[in-house]
């Protein structure tokens, strides 16, 4: 078979015609009557919809079809994966091909919410992979019509609250909150995230800040501050919004930059530290897990979090400075436990210190890391979690996804499971979720 030469493609149109129409589709057994270009299905517009069975054959549930999306030659394909996921999962189609001529990838829908990469090759080597591709998505492949696995069945447990805290900034608190939340939601748990940090990073990372202009700021007058400040209004259900960063449902109580000034209003109010806890108790049948993002500080909002939470995770990059900070964390926990005693709450249950943003250097992991972990146990008296979150570029990239469908690009951040489901980071957060479920006694 003649090799395909990606150098022939200069534009996205070339990728469509030279790679897909003239090379790949015929090789996969699809005649001109079996594919459609620029197909609009509701709000979705597909570059190519390829049908393995004739529409007239009436065998379209599940549709034996492949979605094919062509991008500019050599453009980065990663930011297009979330959109492909939306297409596949919304249409209930099992396979999607994504290409920029230099790279050909195939994704498979593996649950009603998730897709995973199942094939990848370079454009110049495509001819040597045609048989693999035919078996996967060729016209006579039996895979195409296979049903998509069913949704995980809902899991219901008594509500558990987990705060993620360290007074040092930038150690991965927000990254832990959003991705642990996504991991639990994907397993069928009902998840609420509470953003108590005026930086509002969880609010952004979960897709609640999609406005460019201050005028469009719909969060300023209805956020976590109002839930604390107002007794009768702003119950949990009125403040929480459904997030868009994750295909599985996650609700978020947003924070806002105004929380900084508003802290003064709350400062000497007797209700400030307990009101959210009271409201959460009223909503306890609506959620299985509540995960709280804390500010890197000892401020009132951090005290609110440590008053209301059952459990605590302490992410740490395990660098010397963060370790010294653990002494402050210990003191802060003790102070809050004293207040909890007054309001008849048991002491905070520390699940452990979570190694976070850890260097992947093999020597460090083998020699230094275990020693540092041991020191955290012996010197600061904290348990260590067994899971480790390493320094992974994907965790930064999934925050920078944009949606370019409208006139101006809009931020469209994704969870690591939605952005790069097969990545090392997704596996690490999956393992963390499993460990947390086991530690809080929520394993089936």
What residue ranges bind ligand ATP (CB under 6 A)? Answer: 169-175, 197, 199, 201, 296, 356-357, 389, 391-392, 395-396, 399
Least separation in angstroms between residue 271's CB and ligand ATP is: 26
Cα–Cα distance for residue pair 173/389, rounded to 1 Å: 11
Question: Which lies closer to ligand ATP via its Cβ, residue 65 or residue 313?
Answer: 313
Question: Which lies closer to Mg ion via its Cβ, residue 98 or residue 291?
Answer: 291
Q: Which does 389 bind (CB under 5 to 8 A by kind): Mg ion, ligand ATP, none?
A: ligand ATP
3-state secondary structure of 66: strand
Least separation in angstroms between residue 86's CB and ligand ATP is: 23
Question: Which lies closer to Mg ion via its Cβ, residue 84 or residue 252?
Answer: 252
The answer to whether 351 touches 311, Cβ cutoff 8 Å, is yes
E strand segments, 239-301: 241-242, 250-253, 289-293
Question: Which lies closer to ligand ATP via its Cβ, residue 99 or residue 175?
Answer: 175
Least separation in angstroms between residue 199's CB and Mg ion is: 6
- Under the binding rule (CB under 5 A), the answer on residue 201 touching Mg ion is yes
Least separation in angstroms between residue 363's CB and ligand ATP is: 19
CB neighbours of residue 118 within 10 Å: 15
Question: Which lies closer to ligand ATP via its Cβ, residue 341 or residue 396?
Answer: 396
Q: Which does 244 bind (CB under 5 to 8 A by kind): Mg ion, ligand ATP, none?
A: none
Return the closest-CA partner of residue 290 out of 197, 388, 386, 189: 189
Cα–Cα distance for residue pair 171/201, rounded to 1 Å: 13
Question: Which lies closer to Mg ion via its Cβ, residue 83 or residue 173?
Answer: 173
Cα–Cα distance for residue pair 24/134, rounded to 1 Å: 10
Q: Which does 340 bind (CB under 5 to 8 A by kind): Mg ion, ligand ATP, none?
A: none
Cα–Cα distance for residue pair 32/14, rounded to 1 Å: 17
Which tokens go with 257? 């930059």
Least separation in angstroms between residue 310's CB and ligand ATP is: 20
Return the closest-CA partner of residue 255 out of 193, 211, 213, 170: 193
Q: Which does 392 bind (CB under 5 to 8 A by kind): ligand ATP, Mg ion, none?
A: ligand ATP
- Check whether the bond before 389 is cis (ω within 30° of 0): no
Mask for 146-185, x = binds Mg ion (CB under 5 A) = ---------------------------xx-----------
State how beta strands 349-358 and 191-195 pair. Answer: unpaired
């Amino acid at each position: 078979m003649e090799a395909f030469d990606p150098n022939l493609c200069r534009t996205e149109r070339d990728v469509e015609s030279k790679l897909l129409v003239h090379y790949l589709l015929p090789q996969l057994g699809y005649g001109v009557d079996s594919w459609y270009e620029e197909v609009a299905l509701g709000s979705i517009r597909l570059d190519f919809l390829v049908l393995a069975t004739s529409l007239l054959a009436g065998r379209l549930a599940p549709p034996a079809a492949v979605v094919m999306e062509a991008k500019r030659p050599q453009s980065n394909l990663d930011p297009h994966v979330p959109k492909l996921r939306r297409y596949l999962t919304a249409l209930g189609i099992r396979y999607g091909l994504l290409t920029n001529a230099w790279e050909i990838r195939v994704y498979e829908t593996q649950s009603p919410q998730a897709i995973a990469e199942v094939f990848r090759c370079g454009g110049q080597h495509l001819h040597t992979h045609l048989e693999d591709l035919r078996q996967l998505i060729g016209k006579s492949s039996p895979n195409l019509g296979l049903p998509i696995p069913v949704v995980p069945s809902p899991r219901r447990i008594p509500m558990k609250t987990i705060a993620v805290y360290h007074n040092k900034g930038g150690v991965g608190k927000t990254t832990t909150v959003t991705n642990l939340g996504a991991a639990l939601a994907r397993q069928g748990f009902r998840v609420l995230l509470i953003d108590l940090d005026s930086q509002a990073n969880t609010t952004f990372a979960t897709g609640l800040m999609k406005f460019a202009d201050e005028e469009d700021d719909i969060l300023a007058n209805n956020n976590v501050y109002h839930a604390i400040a107002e007794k009768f209004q702003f119950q949990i259900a009125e403040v929480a919004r459904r997030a868009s960063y994750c295909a599985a449902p996650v609700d978020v109580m947003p924070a806002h930059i105004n929380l900084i000034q508003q802290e003064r209003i709350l400062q000497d109010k007797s209700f400030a530290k307990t009101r959210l806890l009271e409201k959460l108790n009223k909503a306890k049948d609506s959620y299985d897990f509540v995960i709280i993002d804390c500010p890197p500080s000892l401020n009132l909002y951090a005290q609110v979090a440590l008053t209301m939470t059952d459990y605590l995770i302490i992410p740490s990059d395990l660098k010397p400075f963060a370790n010294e900070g653990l002494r402050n964390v210990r003191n802060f926990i003790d102070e809050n436990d004293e207040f909890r005693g007054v309001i008849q709450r048991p002491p905070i249950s520390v699940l452990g210190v979570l190694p976070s943003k850890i260097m992947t250097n093999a020597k460090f992991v083998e020699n230094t890391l275990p020693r540092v972990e041991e020191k955290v146990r012996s010197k600061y008296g904290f348990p260590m979690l067994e899971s480790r979150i390493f320094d992974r570029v994907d965790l930064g990239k999934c925050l920078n996804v944009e949606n370019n469908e409208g006139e101006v690009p809009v931020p469209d951040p994704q969870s690591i499971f939605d952005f790069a489901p097969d990545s090392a980071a997704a596996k690490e957060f999956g393992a963390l979720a499993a460990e947390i479920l086991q530690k809080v006694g929520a394993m089936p």
